[in-house]
A and B are shown apart, each in its own frame.
Chain A
Amino acid sequence: MKMREILSFTLIECLKKGTENVIKHENEINELNVFPVPDGDTGSNMVSTLKGGIEKIKDNKNVKDVLKDFYEGCLYSSRGNSGIILSQFIKGIYEEAKNEKSLSLRDLARGFVKGYYYSWKAIANPVEGTILTVIKDTSKTLSRIYNKNNVFEIFKKVIESGYNSLQKTPSLLPILKEAGVVDAGGKGFLHFIEGFFYGWLSEIEILKLRKEIPVTPIAVVREIVNNVQTERIYPVWFIDFFPEIQKRMKNVSLSSFEIKNFLQNIYNVWKREIKNRYDVELILEPRDSEIKNLEKTLKKMGDSLIIAKDGVNLKIHIHTNEIEGVIKYVESIGIIREKYIQDMEKQREEFLKKRKGILIFVKGEGFVEIFKGLGAERVFYLDNPTYMEMEKIFKDINLDEFIIIPNNKRLCIMIKEIMKKLNMKYYLIENDIEAEGIYLFMEWNKDENIEKIFERMEKKLQNIKAYEVKRAIKRKKIGEEEIKEGDYLLLRLKNLIFSGRDFESIFKFIKDKIGFENILIFYGENVKKDIIEQSLKKTEIEEYEIYYGGQKNSILQILIEEET
């Protein structure tokens, strides 16, 4: 187990693994992001930065060139504070790679230190308790122990020191403490180097440096704030994200009230107003190599200012309310080559938005396919579900508010009871058959006010012409009409509309008495499609579509389509 130096091939692997590891944790990182602006995009910014680096790397290159490509790609695609800091860290690694053929642990350690130096220089006003602190602490550890024997142990120690450093961030940066989270960028950085080290060790036995964390913190917070189920927040993985809770839980167990309060605080930090709303990034080709007062002038227009040099170009990042002012000024000193403006308020809104969804229950497997084909994500096919089965579905859905299309009136009472028990925000459409549900589903739109959609669906339900065809199981007299056993019954909203001896008579009735532009037919479990088609042919109906529904309680469901 030597691996004290790696070749360019493994180096590429390291960079890829590092990037992949950040991608894997992108959402988690986003959700920790409260500093400098709680816009929840740190993870995405880091991913965009690193991906840019990976895309730039060409194969068959020496170590130095791989790092050069990676650095330039990162810098070019770097987004946000964390992206620029990361790219500057990589610049350090690149510059300290002394040998074209291989990268040694010594180079890496020196690179870490230089990277640490560059990353602190990248920021106009560096602050402790951020990614910078984590970079600093891991660099220190690596440079202290890189010449130890066991490479695996070295990496393990570096990662450990990184996580200790990360745990420390809230005590260094008040806003993190207030929110009770660790720094997002710092966490992202650790994922990157963790992946990088995996790559380095890829030829040795791969051991896990750290245990996996399965759920994102905000998902947990949401669940608790909206719906106190405190017994679920004790697992260790949860505590990992919130050092404050960890500390307090060592001695006492928190009451559900305290935990809820604590989590509410995290939410409040997120809801705080953003001082400078727009995130502006520019690549500028300056007219003169020296620009007087560039930093000073820009500082007046916003915060989170970062200015990085990329050859002749400058990369400028600023959070500002005065987009026009910034652009005007920058254009007076050079040519803007690229420009990205993001509205952080919008991003934050997106993040804080409630999770909405729609649940659909069906009575046949064919309908599962049909609804999924329309884009429905949550379709449940249950044959006479029990209360327990239904309750489990709702317990696991993980939505803040939702519409339910039961396609079965019998389920409605049960659903209402479960909703009451679980105290959930729901909108229940009380419809009975899938043919209606299909048309209702088309009103769904996840971005719209759910109440409005619900109102529209309710209104629409009144106008949908959906029928069922069943067979009479015994003789019966309804009014004047005598129904024989085996007769075909055409029903709408459970009321008998017509009865006949065969499909043909039913279709003839629909054609002559109801009228349509097109009819949709969904046939049940033991029905033969060709018999339906033959009957349609005999009645000279040409505008139809037949689909397998698979329902057991009726032979056919029929939906009449008319031109509106």
Chain B
Amino acid sequence: MKILTDDAAILPEDFIREKGIEILGFPLFLNNEEVTGISPEEFFERMRKGEIPRTSLIPPSTYEKKFKEIKDNEILYIALTKTMSGTIDSAYQASKNLKEKRIHIFDSGFTANGQGLLVIIAQKLKEEGKNMEKIVEELEKIKNKIKTFFVIPDLKHLYREGRITKVKEIVGSIMKIKPIITFENGKLVPYAVVRKDSQAIEKFIMEMKKMEDKKYVLLSWSENKEIAERLKEEIERNFGKIEIYIARVNSVCASKMGNNSWGIAFV
């Protein structure tokens, strides 16, 4: 069985490489010029200068090509949530033409860290020898438990594309603030605002304390790795034994979350 995801998920580079996770890329644009595959550094720089990022759906043909390319007979595709994109429908379309393979399309219900975390867990379950049905069943349960938060200093990209609701005032805030966004029923909603990263860390730890039996954490950073390291230390100090992954925000996620975002998902 092969695990496939799309790059709306955030995952550690080495994890992808070592575990052989297949990733489909969303077509990415800056000021309408296609820049798919651009390095994060260049992408962040151009976005900072005001170029407007945009993504488009992965077309069914790309899915079909990928599904065919993968040699395994079973494919588990962990997709960006249906509530934020129609890409999952492209995947369904493509899977219809490939009856010879068993393709399971799993709506992760998340994007970014949440989606990434589900990929990590799916891989764990696969390594434990579980079959696709069992993995999907487990993911279905775990998915409801995942909590995820992002610090998104600049909400304008999410706001411009209408991907976040109830933030009109925060977007135009007079004060310098860092909004924290969370996922609620598949939708991005504001959770809190803070002035400093340390306050965000405080809030994340507080939220983690509310969840019992947590095992996995996926942290993400985009331009300041130090913040992820600091958060990691705090988590270790507070919770000890817990598996922590750190990943860099990729360009596709950055195109929505803007410069300097960072975040966490745990379960």
A: residues with CB less than 8 A from B are 323-324, 327-328, 331, 335-339, 341, 343, 369-370, 372-376, 438, 442, 444-445, 545, 547, 561, 563-564
Cα(A445)–Cα(B170), bound, Å: 15
Contact present for A563 and B193 (CB under 8 Å): no
Across the interface, which residues of B come within 8 angstroms of A372, CB to CB?
Answer: 169
Least Cβ distance of A437 to chain B in Å?
Answer: 13
- B190-203 interface code vs A (CB 8 A; 1 in, 0 out): 11111110110010
What is the minimal beta-carbon distance from B177 to any residue of chain A, in angstroms?
6
Contact assessment for B177 and A564 in the assembled complex, using a CB-CB cutoff below 8 Å: no
Contact across chains for A564 and B202 when beta carbons are under 8 A apart = yes
Set B107, B170, B198: member contacting A373, Cβ < 8 A: B170
| The one of B102, B137, B167, B192 that contacts A444, using a Cβ cutoff of 8 Å | B192
Q: Closest residue of chain B to A517, judged by CB?
A: B196
Residues of B within 8 A of A376 (CB): 169
Contact of B175 among A324, A337, A341, A374 (CB under 8 A): A374
SS of B interface (majority): mixed
- Since A327-B137, A564-B199 are in contact, a sample of 13 more A-B pairs with Cβ atoms closer than 8 Å, ordered by chain A residue number, is A327-B133, A335-B102, A338-B92, A372-B169, A373-B172, A374-B170, A374-B193, A442-B195, A444-B192, A545-B175, A547-B174, A561-B195, A563-B198
Given contact pairs A373-B174, A373-B175, A375-B170, A445 touches B133 in the complex (Cβ within 8 A): no
Kindly list chain A residues whose C-beta atoms are within 8 Å of the C-beta of B133. Answer: 327-328, 331
How far is the CB of A206 from the nearest CB of chain B, in Å? Answer: 30
CB proximity of B214 to chain A, nearest CB, Å: 18
Asked whether, in the complex, the Cβ of A442 is within 8 Å of the Cβ of B194, the reply is yes
Please tell me if the beta carbons of B173 and A374 are within 8 angstroms of each other in the complex: yes
Number of interface residues of B (CB under 8 A): 31
Contacts of A438 in B (CB 8 A): 175
B249–chain A nearest beta-carbon distance, Å:
24
- Chain B residues, Cβ within 8 Å of A331: 133
CB closest residue in chain B, given A76: B89
Residue of B nearest to A285 (CB): B96
Asked if A324 contacts B137 (CB within 8 A), the reply is yes
Q: Check B198 against A564 for contact (C-beta < 8 Å).
A: yes
Which residue of chain A has the shortest Cβ distance to B193 in the bound complex?
A374
B176 within 8 A of A: yes
Find residues 166-219 in chain B having any chain A CB closer than 8 Å to their own CB. Answer: 167, 169-170, 172-177, 179, 190-196, 198-199, 202
Beyond A327-B137, A374-B177, whether A343 also contacts B169 by CB under 8 A is no
B144 within 8 A of A: yes
For A564, the chain B residues whose CB sits under 8 A away are 196, 198-199, 202
Shortest CB–CB separation between residue B162 and chain A, in angstroms? 15
Q: Taking the complex as formed, is B140 at the interface, i.e. its CB lies under 8 A from any CB of chain A?
A: yes
Residues of A within 8 A of B193 (CB): 374-375, 442
Given the complex, which residues of A lie within 8 Å of B202, measured CB to CB?
564
Chain B contacts for A335, CB-based, 8 A = 102
Asked if A323 meets B140 with Cβ closer than 8 Å, knowing A372-B169, A442-B193, A564-B199, the reply is yes
In the complex, A375→B180 CA distance in Å? 11
A328–B140 alpha-carbon span in the complex (Å):
14
Interface string of B141-180 (1 = CB under 8 A from A): 0001000000000000000000000010110111111010
Once the chains are docked, how many angstroms separate the CA of A348 from the CA of B92? Answer: 31
Give the CA-CA distance A444 to B190 in the complex, in Å. 11
Instruction: Collect the chain B residues with CB atoms within 8 Å of residue A374's CB.
Output: 169-170, 173, 175, 177, 193
Most buried by B among A335, A337, A373, A547: A373
**Are the CB atoms of A375 and B190 closer together than 8 Å?**
yes
**Contact residues of B between 62 and 114, Cβ < 8 Å to A:** 92, 95-96, 102, 104-105, 107
Give residues 212-253 of B contacting A (CB, 8 Å). Answer: none
Point out the residues of chain A lying under 8 angstroms from B191, CB to CB. 445
Question: Considering residues A323, A328, A445, which has the most beta carbons from chain B within 10 angstroms of its beta carbon?
Answer: A445
* Residues on B with beta carbons closer than 8 Å to the beta carbon of A563: 196, 198
In angstroms, Cα B10 to Cα A24, docked, is 37
* 11 cross-chain CB contacts under 8 A: A327-B137, A335-B102, A339-B107, A373-B175, A375-B169, A375-B193, A442-B192, A442-B195, A445-B192, A563-B198, A564-B198
Evaluate contact between A545 and B176: CB separation under 8 angstroms: yes
A411 → B minimal CB distance (Å): 23
Q: Are B140 and A341 in contact (CB under 8 A)?
A: yes
A545–B199 Cα gap in the complex (Å)? Answer: 18
Please state if A373 and B177 are interface contacts (CB–CB under 8 Å). Answer: yes
A323 vs B199: C-alpha distance in the bound complex, in angstroms?
40
For B195, the chain A residues whose CB sits under 8 A away are: 442, 561
With CB as the reference atom, state the residue of chain A lying closest to B170. A375
Give the residue among A328, A376, A442 with the most B Cβ atoms within 10 A.
A442
Contact assessment for B175 and A547 in the assembled complex, using a CB-CB cutoff below 8 Å: yes
Instruction: State in angstroms the CA–CA spacing of A444 and B193 once bound together.
Output: 9
